[in-house]
Structure 1
Amino acid sequence: MADSRAFFSSDAHQHRRPRLLMRQRITANLRAFFANEDFIEVETPALQASPGNEAHLHAFTTHFLDNDLSQRPLYLHTSPEFACKKLMAAGESRIVNFARVYRNRERSPLHHPEFTLVEWYRAHAGYETLMADCAALLREAATTAGVTKLRYRGKEADPFLELERISVADAFQHYVGIDLLATIPDDPLAPPDRDALAKAASDAGVRIIADDTWSDVFSHVLNQKIEPFLGEGRGTILDAYPAHEAALARRNPADPRLSERFELFVCGVELANGFGELTDPAEQRRRFMLEMDEKERIYNERYPLDEALLALLPAMPPTSGIALGLDRLIMLATDAHRIEDVLWAPLIIPGAST
């Protein structure tokens, strides 16, 4: 059960305070990094008409009371992505947002209902540029903290080494012995082969249930057999996600089965998620609808689409964008074992487990 004394007694606070002061220094130096790269820091509202349209992200819901006393649903955003893309469509070329974001149904040593994302966008830049940004931010955080290794629960990574880069398909082959691409048809609109992937995963020791979709099986394998081993020794870029697992990313021009999406892992911790951004409004609408259909199937709920975003997408230049978990980066730089150790005032929900 959550207990305020665990964080706010004088002794407990003094124990956490060195990490909190380091949080302040790291955040300030990350802001300086972006300023030196000619980014404009923007602020976007947390309240949105649509909180995001990913099937497995859950928002906090509230209502706006209009002058005529009619209620309109609003949501605390799960990321500042939609608002940032509108700014890119309006003419900005490099923006960064240190955004407080909110996700329901999330609590673990690495998850907190309210946390901070550093989200940034570069117009007319390939998504590989974001990989270089990630490497620079790892170095910046470690240098600020005065450490030569990033750490999490006994695992270490050298932030000054070049990042490892491995495709999702190669990771499936290397860690699990699964030919992932054999389960994805060449036709980008055709469904992937759920049964083939389920059999391969089951043969590898992953528990599969009857109503698991291809995406479910994909996630089980990734979460159980691959992600825990990424980012040991050095950070790892897990690149070229299947297009079915990248609702907001451009397809890979060389292989439409794949996308311009990558994730950064350090010490087995997912730290960042980057894209070559999709700007085709019809395709984006189709993908959002598929995500919301899946959300309704599993959770019996769906969120509205952001029609303003879809209308503005054609005006957005070729853009790459990424979100990095600031709290997790600070955890790695200060060897913290739980996210509450690097939050000034962790959320206490009476009676809830932590």
Structure 2
Amino acid sequence: MDRREVARARARMQAAVREFLTRREFDEVETPCLVPEPAMEPHIDAFRAPFVPEGGGAARPLWLHSSPEYAMKRLLAEGFPRIFQLARVFRNGEVSDTHNPEFTLLEMYRAHTDYRGIMEDLEETVAACARAVTGGTRISVGGRPLELAPPFERLTAQEAFQTRAGVDLAACDGRADRLRAALRERGLGVAGDGDSFDDLYFRVFLEVVEPTLGLGRPTYLVDWPAPMAALSRLKPGDPRVAERFELYAGGLELANGFSELTDAAEQRRRLMEEQGLRARLGRPVYPLDERFLAALPRMPEAGGVALGLDRLLMLLVGARTIDEVLLFPAREFLAPR
């Protein structure tokens, strides 16, 4: 793949993002890459980068951010109604055909809407990128056509597990023991009894459900089980599910988004649970971002999403690996010597 042409395609894609979102009255913002409290996702490790005072003194712990989410939500709380960022983000240990430890996210938030509103913003943005890079919205992935014009398919996690795996997630009610029993009944492989609900969900999801998503046109997988709410709010009227979504297209996971949680006490509880899980997994335990938690009560109802721009570019130019769309992929210097 011609590196120069790929670089030009990236430039056209990023220009299309800026032009489209600016027309929709989004403000482009920048937030720090170095942060004193990184995001708390249990399975993501941040790069530690201590600040050492030039004149001497104790080093202060800082990390390269894995997402600009906390900072951008503080901007929502300050009154920014529509914001986006083309953010360089960093995740330690992630190297594969679809992962690079340094990559680019489109992170965007819109106040006074929910996950449905931000999904509409996102699918229009993806279509604008497709037109900028390919001249249209119909591409080919693995010899099969993929239409990137809105609207995208919307499929609930309940529907996906019921139709693809024969598992009734609602009946499991977020309990690992019930999900484990349902998987065993269907003859789906499960590990030991100590696996969490998340572990069981993702094992079956990756093997059985994910390969069926985003074929023909992109798929939003929506309304995730409540134990997997992350930073999203629970669905009003049905607390068994969270207003969370992921976007899949042509076999790739492209984006993750929410109706944003604004309950500071609930958010603190979830983050402390994740601290405990990180400790049990033997991962570094990060401090809570108290400034983020203090801002949450002032934050309006909002929808937010993070889109992996490198993966979207892979899709649009027909790349097989993320290395093909990066001028300097990490595997060049992380390969065994």
TM-score norm. by structure 2 comes to 0.94
Which of 269, 273, 287 in structure 2 is aligned with 1:290?
273
By how many angstroms is 1:140 displaced?
A: 1.1
Contact 1:171 1:226 in 2 (8 A): yes
Q: Partners in 2 of 1:232 and 1:60 — Cα distance? A: 35
Aligned equivalent of 1:22:
9
Q: Partners in 1 of 2:37 and 2:137 — Cα distance? A: 41
Aligned equivalent of 1:51:
38
Aligned equivalent of 1:134:
122
Aligned equivalent of 1:229:
212
Which of 113, 126, 132 in structure 2 is aligned with 1:125?
113
Q: Partners in 1 of 2:89 and 2:130 — Cα distance? A: 24
Which of 126, 147, 161 in structure 2 is aligned with 1:158?
147
Helix, strand or coil for the counterpart of 1:240? strand
Which runs of 5 or more structure 1 residues have no equivalent in the other structure? 1-13, 185-191
Aligned equivalent of 2:59:
71
Q: Partners in 2 of 1:326 and 1:320 — Cα distance? A: 19
Q: Partners in 2 of 1:156 and 1:59 — Cα distance? A: 37
By how many angstroms is 1:264 displaced?
A: 0.8
Aligned equivalent of 2:171:
182
Partner amino acid for 1:109? D
Aligned equivalent of 2:236:
253
Contact 2:45 2:284 in 1 (8 A): no
By how many angstroms is 1:134 displaced?
A: 2.0
Q: Does 1:209 align with 2:179?
A: no
Which runs of 5 or more structure 2 residues have no equivalent in the other structure? none
Q: Partners in 2 of 1:301 and 1:32 — Cα distance? A: 39
From the superposition, tell whether residues 52 and 151 of structure 1 become closer, same or farther in structure 2 (CA, over 3 Å).
Answer: farther
Deviations 1:116-175 (A, max 9, x none): 000001011122111111221221122112244344445542112521111001111010
By how many angstroms is 1:107 displaced?
A: 1.0
By how many angstroms is 1:268 displaced?
A: 1.9
Q: Does 1:194 align with 2:176?
A: yes
Helix, strand or coil for the counterpart of 2:287? coil
Which of 92, 97, 103 in structure 1 is aligned with 2:91?
103
Helix, strand or coil for the counterpart of 2:254? strand
Q: Partners in 2 of 1:33 and 1:287 — Cα distance? A: 35
Partner amino acid for 1:108? S
Contact 2:107 2:305 in 1 (8 A): yes
From the superposition, tell whether residues 141 and 335 of structure 1 become closer, same or farther in structure 2 (CA, over 3 Å).
Answer: same
Contact 1:105 1:113 in 2 (8 A): yes
Q: Partners in 2 of 1:65 and 1:166 — Cα distance? A: 49
Partner amino acid for 1:171? A
Aligned equivalent of 1:267:
250
From the superposition, tell whether residues 81 and 351 of structure 1 become closer, same or farther in structure 2 (CA, over 3 Å).
Answer: closer
Contact 1:249 1:278 in 2 (8 A): yes
By how many angstroms is 1:98 displaced?
A: 0.4
Deviations 1:175-226 (A, max 9, x none): 0000111111xxxxxxx32122112223444332212111100111111111
Q: Does 1:218 align with 2:201?
A: yes
Contact 1:147 1:333 in 2 (8 A): no
Q: Partners in 2 of 1:351 and 1:76 — Cα distance? A: 19
Partner amino acid for 1:323? A
Contact 2:21 2:125 in 1 (8 A): no
From the superposition, tell whether residues 120 and 227 of structure 1 become closer, same or farther in structure 2 (CA, over 3 Å).
Answer: same
TM-score norm. by structure 1 comes to 0.90
From the superposition, tell whether residues 327 and 243 of structure 1 become closer, same or farther in structure 2 (CA, over 3 Å).
Answer: same
Which of 274, 277, 300 in structure 2 is aligned with 1:317?
300
Helix, strand or coil for the counterpart of 1:321? strand
Helix, strand or coil for the counterpart of 1:84? helix
- Identify which range, 154-163 or 306-315, moves more after superposition: 154-163
Helix, strand or coil for the counterpart of 1:108? coil
The total of aligned residue pairs comes to 334
